[in-house]
Amino acid sequence: MIRLERRPQTSRLWASVTPLAAVALTMVAGGILFGFLGKDPFVSIRTIFWDPLFGEFAWYYRGQLLVKAGPLILIAIGLSLGFRAGIWNIGAEGQYILGAICGAGVGLAFYPAEFWFIFPLMVIAGAAGGFVWAMIPAILKVWFNTNEILVSLLLVYVAEQLLASVSLGLLRNPEGSGFPGSRNLSQYEAASNTELIAGTGVHWGVVAAFLAVILAYVLLSRHLLGFQIRLAGESPRAARFAGVRPNLLVVFCLGAGGALAGLAGLFEVSGPSGLISIDFNSGYGFTAIIVAFLGRLHPIGILLAGLLLALTFIGGEAAQANLGLPASAIQAFQGMLLFFLLAVDVLANYRLRFGRAEAS
């Protein structure tokens, strides 16, 4: 008989080993999946994890790796602040969409002017859009004690409808022959998030992601607010005795998460995506949840986890193009990572016991 026995205290060894074990198990299970699809498992795994870093076109893929990782890291850093405090923002995808809509709207309002301050205004508007959208579950949580998980998640579907509405109406390109979607911001220099390093695609969103990692690390390790966030998550009762104000913590954590998700949307719509369209959202807000937990809610861990998830995106696209793997198989492969992370994470708090069950 196999049973789980609670450990007296969380195992630091298993807590640190869990992400590596989850990645290894994902590779094994993914190889088996690719084998069933008629592909060589070793070639498939090599194409996803090795070729983008050390293959023939690695010089190009490495820049794209940072571009893909940027929004994931930005959103995951914001989510991790709330998760550490026991505040569950599951609607970052909606905040990402609203940030893109507000930021693009400000830029398009000035078209075709070429003022230097247009892009900075777009950055502010993007952060504000995500912040305001996150304040809806925050205020409802503070005033009516609603469940922030349900409210933030349901607001994602409202945001998707707003995205479709502005793509077909308010922000639609008047010169687009009636097709949905806004003007291409990459062709509007004042509102374009241009490359910082030619030929790599690296833009201001990547810089913002690294700055967010540094600021979050300083906040959590050197600031009183960071101590209160950690204390509220680890021991809510002790946090109350320590004078932590839970309502302010809810507003701060949801607001910070929304602002960073909105920034990610703005940098994406003014950079790689280039325009507001019905299918603009690409699931970054939900994927960032995997990044946050894979990184153990630690800023440095999130940085590494974001790069790893971005690698699966880029390697997955290469596997689709070169090996003919279906997109659904790549999505299942990425989902396995979260599954194995949650499964192996149990061993940090429980140990396996083998043998006969004792008679009661």
Q: What is the pLDDT of residues 140-165, one digit of tens each?
A: 999 999 999 999 999 999 999 999 99
Q: How many domains is the chain built from?
A: 1
What pLDDT shows up at residue 234? 83
Report yes or no on 323 lying in a domain: no
What pLDDT shows up at residue 58? 77
In this prediction, residues 49-54 reach a mean pLDDT of 88
In this prediction, residues 130-141 reach a mean pLDDT of 98
Is the pLDDT at 59 greater than 80? The verdict is no
Structural domain boundaries enclosing 108? 64-292
What pLDDT shows up at residue 357? 56
What pLDDT shows up at residue 165? 95
What pLDDT shows up at residue 241? 81
Instruction: Label residue 19 by pLDDT band (50, 70, 90).
Output: confident
- Greatest Cα-to-Cα distance within the chain, rounded to the nearest angstrom: 81
Instruction: Label residue 270 by pLDDT band (50, 70, 90).
Output: very high
Is the pLDDT at 293 greater than 80? The verdict is yes
Among 118-127, 152-161, 332-341, which is the least confidently predicted range? 332-341
Report yes or no on 91 lying in a domain: yes
> Any residues with CB less than 8 A from the CB of 175 and at least 6 apart, and which?
183
Is the pLDDT at 137 greater than 60? The verdict is yes
Is the pLDDT at 56 greater than 80? The verdict is no
What pLDDT shows up at residue 348? 83
More confident site: 103 or 338 = 103
What pLDDT shows up at residue 16? 83
Report the distance separating Cα 228 and Cα 245, nearest Å. Answer: 9
Is the pLDDT at 69 greater than 90? The verdict is yes
In this prediction, residues 69-79 reach a mean pLDDT of 97
Strand-pair partners of 281: none
Distances (CA, A) of 327 to 170, 312, 334, 337, 340: 33, 12, 11, 16, 20
Of 246, 313, 294, the closest CA to residue 70 belongs to 313
Instruction: Label residue 356 by pLDDT band (50, 70, 90).
Output: low
What pLDDT shows up at residue 85? 94
Among 140-144, 204-208, 236-240, 315-319, which is the least confidently predicted range? 236-240
Instruction: Label residue 196 by pLDDT band (50, 70, 90).
Output: confident
Report yes or no on 233 lying in a domain: yes
Report yes or no on 280 lying in a domain: yes
In this prediction, residues 85-98 reach a mean pLDDT of 96
- 8 A C-beta contact, residue 14 and residue 277: no
Local structure of 178: helix, strand or coil: coil
Instruction: Label residue 4 by pLDDT band (50, 70, 90).
Output: confident
Whole-number mean pLDDT of the chain? 91
Q: Which residue has the tokens 């997109």?
A: 327
More confident site: 122 or 176 = 122
Instruction: Label residue 123 by pLDDT band (50, 70, 90).
Output: very high
CA 40 to chain centre: 31
Report yes or no on 348 lying in a domain: no
Local structure of 136: helix, strand or coil: helix
What pLDDT shows up at residue 1? 75
Local structure of 58: helix, strand or coil: helix
Q: What is the pLDDT of residues 219-232, one digit of tens each?
A: 999 999 999 999 99
Report yes or no on 230 lying in a domain: yes
In this prediction, residues 272-301 reach a mean pLDDT of 91
